[in-house]
């Protein structure tokens, strides 16, 4: 029964198609279509923005951890007689 539920997911692209999804055009026309339709552009940009945000947060977290380690080392060295 669960396998039957997958069939609509596989056909969803055809159901939600709008003009310009003919697929028979040259590569340039398909690329222009992908970049001119707001829904397609959002599906292209959203993962890029998410990956960029994750990378920026990861770098920020690493930088803060390094600063924290450096502060701890300096505090330890300054407390030595």
Query: pLDDT: is 8 or 12 the higher one?
Result: 8
Mean pLDDT along residues 41-65: 93
The Cα 40–Cα 67 span in angstroms is 41
**pLDDT confidence of 12, banded at 50, 70, 90?**
low
Range of the domain at 53: 27-81
The Cα 6–Cα 28 span in angstroms is 32
Residue 10 covered by a domain? no
Residue 50 covered by a domain? yes
**DSSP annotation string for 3-27:** HHHHHHHHHHHHHT--TT----S-H
Taking the mean position of all CA atoms in its chain, how far away is CA 22? 27
Residue 21 covered by a domain? no
Q: Are 35 and 41 in contact (CB under 8 A)?
A: yes
Residue 55 covered by a domain? yes
Domain count, the chain: 1
Confidence check: pLDDT of 28 > 90: no
The Cα 81–Cα 74 span in angstroms is 13
């Amino acid at each position: 029964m669960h396998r039957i539920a997958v069939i609509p997911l596989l056909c969803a692209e055809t159901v939600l198609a709008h003009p310009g999804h003919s697929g028979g055009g040259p590569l340039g026309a398909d690329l222009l279509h992908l970049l001119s339709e707001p829904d397609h552009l959002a599906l292209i940009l959203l993962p890029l923005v998410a990956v960029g945000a994750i990378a920026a947060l990861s770098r920020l977290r690493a930088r803060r951890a390094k600063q924290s380690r450096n502060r701890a080392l300096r505090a330890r060295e300054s407390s030595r007689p």
